[in-house]
Amino acid sequence: MGTPLSGRDGGGGVAVLSGTMNPVDCSSSKASLDNSEQKSPILFFLFFHKAIHLELDALHRSAMAFATGQRVNIQPLFERYHFLRSIYKHHSNAEDEVIFPALDIRVKNVAQTYSLEHKGESDLFDHLFELLNSNMQNDESFLRELASCTGALQTSISQHMSKEEEQVFPLLIEKFSFEEQASLVWQFLCSIPVNMMAKFLPWLSSSISHDEYQDMLKCLCKIVPKEKLLQQVILTWMEDKNGSNSVKSWEDDPQIRCSTDYSASTLTHQTEKVNCACESFKTGKRKYLGSSSVVTETTGVHPINEILHWHNAIKRELSDIAEEARKIQLSGDFTNLSAFNERLEFVAEICIFHSIAEDKVIFPAVDGELSFFQEHAEEESQFNEFRCLIENIQTAGLNSTSAAEFYAKLCSHADQIMETIQRHFHNEEVQVLPLARKHFSFKRQRKLLYQSLCVMPLKLIERVLPWLVRSLTEDEARNFLKNINLAAPASDTALVTLFSGWACKGHKQGGCLSSSAIGCCPVKRFTDIEENFVRPTCPCTLSIQTDDDKRPVKRNVSVPCQNNHAYDPSETVNAHELSCRDQSCCVPGLGVSSNNLGLSALSTAKSLRSLSFNSFAPSLNS
């Protein structure tokens, strides 16, 4: 860690930091990764580090220009600080959740040091945003302080990333197999909220050179499972908005072989044209949904009412947990405490991300004055106390004197959380939902709900969607999927296909919900696009291969289909002969819920919650 803000109270802050900051040179680390027999998937983190270095350097130059009298509009500078804060926070969270716990299992006394440094860097960001939100902007001291804070932040983060490149990355390469490294990076990506991935990957692509971009594509091909749909989701995010690093550049490079003849943008374009074979509907998704939405825009159930589905599902889950706690008390058997704790962790994570969505999407749109900060903080505190109680018992065990007290606390905590959540949900339903129904069109309501869903990371969404759909009636489930498809932008075609398939896993009757909801099943449509417009040269949709780059065994599985292998044109079963209901749910899983690295499948939502609650932290949508 760099020494933060030394001498900041004096007048020498600008003088100390006025020299050109020397960014850490990643070339030596990159060379060591490149020179390995197979380029390590860990190379992806070096590209991430380079992009952060460039952003820090640009911010420091801007702050210095501002401090030395080159008065510019400070608002763009604010926005860049917000963006970097959010990107780096999610980067650190994913490291703390995935990389360091996995490394700690095999190499002791490494992870804690870096997690503590993340905390120190978070404190520096907090101080910076306190300054930016203060009323000091017209003071001369503000300029010195801004330059000092920015310089300290750059020094601290640069030193931290340099240490990771020198110490952590070599350990990851040494202690983990090639396949395990790819799995770690994939879990890292699946732990970042979807709305941030959509901003993070284009930003990363635009921060590196063309050659580095090609290297990163090869690296991602080893990381992303060999499933066409998953690869298309990532590629769509990868495309640079300005087109400077478009996926189309793959096709121009003879060193890279891609098994498809289309880019993410091509897929979106073809979605408008393709004929869907299911349920005798002959129009593409966007055309069909666009025409139908005119009829339903002002009639039927308000889309915002789907918040009630989330509330009801959470309350049912908490009620079941409270009942299970009472059963444990009556039986005196706590052998299944691990399963009980996992269920508690799952619903706690749902509640936390639900709160983040409310704080960052719903409430600001409905009424900027609305705040449920205290309720959200109280819920988090109660969940943490509940978890600590269970973990302490798991660690220390029970004896005859502590058992009765533990069982009483277990039931008390469960009932207390249930009461708090019910009170909180009731207040929201009375104060917030009526305003949303009154002031927002159906289209706007759907968009808010879709944005709220995308606050979650992919690996939580994979579990949450079937869980939610299982609690819905047939009509509610169909409307839920319909609203997702109506709200999503055309560029999210692959992502919505994935969401729809995961949601259908929770359908009580099995089969396709989407075909009756939107007139066309997204998975079937995605398959039709491939068959009509794509001539694959290998089973993997986006398998980029060179002589020395070969992807190891596939990690994920398609669900709930019995065969998990990628598309094979030699299959005896013709996809067109399968009914829409049979095929709709055959979407790939992420392959992160059951791994051999000893990691939990749950995200670390707590740190994201603190980011959401911090009054001077950036919006997750910034």
Lowest mean pLDDT, pick from 173-182, 291-300, 469-478: 291-300
Most confident range (mean pLDDT) of 135-144, 500-509, 527-536, 541-550 is 500-509
**Burial bucket for residue 562 (CB in 10 Å: 0-12, 13-18, 19+):** exposed
Mean pLDDT of 81-106: 92
Same domain membership, residue 215 and residue 129:
yes
Is it the case that residue 388 has pLDDT exceeding 80? yes
- Enumerate the β-bridge partners of residue 587: 559
**Regarding predicted confidence, which is higher, 276 or 44?**
44
Which of 226, 251, 276 finishes a domain?
251
Decide if 442 contacts 301 (C-beta within 8 A). Answer: no
Residues 6+ apart with CB under 8 A from 15: none
List the domain range (segments joined by +) for residue 232: 13-251
Is it the case that residue 590 has pLDDT exceeding 90? yes
pLDDT tens per residue, range 56-78:
999 998 888 888 877 667 788 88
What is d(CA 202, CA 224) in angstroms, rounded to the nearest whole number? 17
Average pLDDT score over the chain = 74
SS3 at position 121? helix
Residue 257 belongs to a domain: no
Is it the case that residue 540 has pLDDT exceeding 60? no
What local confidence, expressed as pLDDT, does residue 49 receive?
96
Nearest to 105 by CA among 23, 12, 175: 175
Q: Enter the tokens of residue 508.
A: 């009580």
- Half-sphere exposure for 184 (CA within 13 Å, toward CB): 27
Nearest to 200 by CA among 143, 240, 153, 168: 240
What local confidence, expressed as pLDDT, does residue 399 receive?
61
Residues 6+ apart with CB under 8 A from 176: 102, 106, 184
| DSSP class per residue in 263-312 | -HHHHHHHHHHPPP-GGG--S-HHHHHHHHHHHHTTSSS-GGGHHHHHHH
Most confident range (mean pLDDT) of 58-62, 138-142, 160-164 is 160-164
Residue 609 belongs to a domain: no
Same domain membership, residue 215 and residue 312:
no
What is d(CA 328, CA 343) in angstroms, rounded to the nearest whole number? 14
Is it the case that residue 180 has pLDDT exceeding 80? yes
What local confidence, expressed as pLDDT, does residue 509 receive?
67
Same domain membership, residue 307 and residue 247:
no
Is it the case that residue 300 has pLDDT exceeding 80? no
**Regarding predicted confidence, which is higher, 373 or 342?**
342
What is d(CA 501, CA 399) in angstroms, rounded to the nearest whole number? 47
Same domain membership, residue 307 and residue 242:
no
**Regarding predicted confidence, which is higher, 604 or 86?**
86
Same domain membership, residue 88 and residue 18:
yes
Most confident range (mean pLDDT) of 14-18, 87-91, 260-264, 369-373 is 87-91
Same domain membership, residue 310 and residue 244:
no
Which helix (DSSP H) or strand (DSSP E) does residue 559 occupy?
strand 558-559
Q: Which long-range contacts (CB under 8 A, 24 or more apart) does 425-433 make?
A: 425/311, 425/314, 425/315, 427/372, 427/375, 428/307, 428/311, 428/358, 428/372, 429/307, 429/308, 429/311, 431/370, 432/362, 432/363, 432/366, 432/367, 432/370, 433/304, 433/305, 433/307, 433/308
What local confidence, expressed as pLDDT, does residue 17 receive?
32
pTM of the model: 0.78
Looking up tokens 């560029």 gives 491
What is d(CA 143, CA 148) in angstroms, rounded to the nearest whole number? 9
CATH of the domain at 82: 1.20.120
Mean pLDDT of 422-436: 92
Residue-wise burial string across 353-391, b where 16 or more C-beta atoms lie within 10 A, e elsewhere: bbbbbbbbbbbebbeeebebeebbebbbebbeebbebbe
Lowest mean pLDDT, pick from 166-170, 340-344, 443-447: 340-344
Same domain membership, residue 33 and residue 122:
yes
Residues 6+ apart with CB under 8 A from 207: 47, 50, 51, 54, 55
Lowest mean pLDDT, pick from 6-15, 314-323, 557-566, 610-619: 6-15
**Regarding predicted confidence, which is higher, 352 or 573?**
352
Q: Which long-range contacts (CB under 8 A, 24 or more apart) does 323-327 make?
A: 325/410, 325/411, 325/413, 325/414, 326/411, 326/414
pLDDT tens per residue, range 393-417:
777 666 655 777 888 888 999 999 9
What local confidence, expressed as pLDDT, does residue 346 receive?
93
Is it the case that residue 79 has pLDDT exceeding 70? yes
What local confidence, expressed as pLDDT, does residue 27 receive?
52
Residue 548 belongs to a domain: no
Is it the case that residue 290 has pLDDT exceeding 80? no
- Enumerate the β-bridge partners of residue 559: 587
Which of 210, 233, 251 finishes a domain?
251
pLDDT band at 251 (very low <50, low <70, confident <90, very high): very low
Which of 382, 417, 440 finishes a domain?
440
What local confidence, expressed as pLDDT, does residue 297 receive?
61
Q: Is the peptide bond before 569 cis (omega within 30 degrees of 0)?
A: no
Residue 484 belongs to a domain: no
- Percent of the chain residues past pLDDT 70, beyond the cut: 65
Mean pLDDT of 347-372: 86
How many Cβ atoms sit within 10 Å of the Cβ of residue 14? Answer: 18
CATH of the domain at 335: 1.20.120.520
Is it the case that residue 44 has pLDDT exceeding 50? yes
Domain count, the chain: 2
Residue 141 belongs to a domain: yes
Is it the case that residue 41 has pLDDT exceeding 50? yes
Decide if 227 contacts 497 (C-beta within 8 A). Answer: no
Residue 196 belongs to a domain: yes
Residue 195 belongs to a domain: yes
Same domain membership, residue 322 and residue 398:
yes
What local confidence, expressed as pLDDT, does residue 315 receive?
95
Same domain membership, residue 119 and residue 223:
yes
**Burial bucket for residue 465 (CB in 10 Å: 0-12, 13-18, 19+):** buried
Is it the case that residue 266 has pLDDT exceeding 50? no
SS3 at position 558? strand
Is it the case that residue 506 has pLDDT exceeding 90? no
Same domain membership, residue 315 and residue 243:
no
Same domain membership, residue 234 and residue 112:
yes
Amino acid at 242: N
- Percent of the chain residues past pLDDT 90, beyond the cut: 43
Same domain membership, residue 183 and residue 57:
yes
Residue 117 belongs to a domain: yes
Is it the case that residue 46 has pLDDT exceeding 50? yes
